[in-house]
Amino acid sequence: MITRRMFVTAGATGAAALAAGGLAACTDGGSSGSADTFTWWDPYPQHDENSDWAQRVQAAGEAAGVKIERTAYDTTALTNQALLAAQEGTSPDIILLDNPAVPTLADTGMLSTTEELGLDISHIDENLLGAGQIDDSTYGIPVGANTLALFYNLEILEEAGVDPETITDWASLDDALDAISGTDNRGITFAGINTEEGTFQFLPWFWGAGAELTDLASEEAVAALELWKSWVDKGYAPNTVITNSQNTTWEEFLTGDYGFAENGTWQVNSAAEAPFETGVIELPSRDGGVAPAPTGGEFIVAPVQSDTDRYETTRTIIEAMTTPEGFVETATTFAYYIPPTSEGQEQLLEEEPELETWVSAVQSAKGRTGDNLGVDYAKISEQLWTAVQNALSGAADPADALATAHEAAAEALGG
C-alpha cells in the first residue's frame, strides 16, 4: 500500500524554501514593467482590451495609482510562459493562473506567498484556498470557482416519474436512471475521456465514495469506478462516454435524449437557453449528502520580484480585485464563477438567486491539488484517468484497473 508520505515527494521543498529564504533570495525575478506600469497576465484572450474584464483590470491599477499592461494567453501557454519568464528574470507582477498550475509554479520558488505580500486571506473559503497551498504556505487568492453538478431534463424526469429532489445518494440515483431507461430516453451522460477532464468528472464519485488520491486501489475507489462501469453496462450511459469531453457531453445532453448530464457552472447560460426545461442538483455521495466536486477557476498570484518595493502596489491591485463586489463582478463576467467568500456569495445570490445550487456545490468542493499533493497530483491524475479508460472499455475490471494505476502512481512518484 502507498502511504501518504510516499506521495509527498521532495518537490514540495521548493515551497518551504521560499518561505524560509524570503522573496529576493529565491529567484532573480524582475518585473517586465516600470515604476508606473505593472504587468498582468491572464488566461482570457477572448476578452480584448475593450471588454468589461479588461476595464476591470485597468480600474484595479488605477486604484493603486498605476497603469496595467495586460497580456492574455491560453491556459497552457500561460503556465509555460510564466516558467520561462521566471528563468529569464522577466516575470510579470501579477498572474491569473488556473488553480492546478499554482503548485507547479510555487514548486520552482517563483511565487510569493500571501503572508509575504501581507494579504489577508482569513475571509476566503478554506476549501477553495486548498488548491493554492503547499505545506503551511498559501500562494495567491482564488478569484472565483466553478465546479460540477448534475443537470437534468425536467420533461424526461417527469415522464419517468422521477422527482429530482429524492436523489440524495447513489441508490436513489440508480433508481432514477432505471426508471428513465423504461422510457425511450437515456439516463445519464458524462465525460470519461483519457485527459484531465476525465479525472475531473470522476473525482466527485471517487471522493463521494470516501476514496483518497493517495490510495487509488481502495475499496472506496473501486466502488466509484464500478458505479460508472455499471451505468455503461446497463445502458444508462452511452458507450461514447469513454471519448466524451465535457463539451461533447453537453452536446449530447442538448439533444434532449438524456435525463442527466454531469457538467459545470459554465453551462448555466446554455442550460437556460436549451429547448427543454432544465434543472440542476448537487452530485450525491455514495451513502447520502453532497459529494465533494473538484474546483475549477483561477488564482491571482504574484511572482517574486528583485525590486521588493513593487510589492506594496501589487498588494493594492490584488486587494482591489478581491473585494466582495469584485468577486461578484468576476462571477457574472465569466458566467459563472462563484465568489470564494461568504459575503461575495450572498451578494451574488441577491442578484442571481437561481445560482443557489451552484453556491452550495462550491461550498462543498475540493481543490484537486489539495491535501498537500501539489505537483504530485498530475502524476496521480494520469493514472486515475487511465484506470477509468481501462474499466469503461472492458480492458480490465475496475479493481484490477485501479490496482495497476496505484502501482504506476507509486512508481511515478518514486515510491
Residue 190 — pLDDT band, cuts 50, 70, 90? very high
Q: pLDDT tens for residues 241-291? A: 999 999 999 999 999 999 999 999 999 999 999 999 999 999 999 999 999
Range of the domain at 41: 4-145+296-363
Q: Please tell me the distance from the alpha carbon of residue 268 to that of residue 408, in angstroms, as a whole number.
A: 37
Mean pLDDT of the chain: 91
Tell whether 282 and 248 lie within a shared domain: yes
Q: Say whether both 164 and 123 belong to one domain.
A: no
Residues 53, 74, single domain; the answer is yes
Of 86 and 11, more confident: 86
Task: Give 378's strand partners.
Answer: none
β-bridge partners, 145: 338
Asked, for residue 368, whether it belongs to a domain, the answer is no
In a domain, 370, yes or no: no
Q: Are residues 38 and 167 in the same domain?
A: no
Residues 226, 396 contacting (CB under 8 angstroms): no
Domain membership flag for residue 111: yes
In a domain, 74, yes or no: yes
Per-residue pLDDT of 316-363, as tens digits, reads: 999 999 999 999 998 888 877 999 999 999 999 999 999 999 999 999
pLDDT tens for 71-107 read 999 988 999 999 999 999 999 999 999 999 999 999 9
Q: Which residues contact 411 (CB under 8 A, 6 or more apart)?
A: none
Do 10 and 44 fall within a single domain?
yes
pTM of the model: 0.89
Cα gap 135→106, rounded to integer Å:
11
* Alpha helices in 13-142, H assignment, sequence order: 13-21, 23-26, 52-63, 75-88, 102-107, 114-117, 126-129
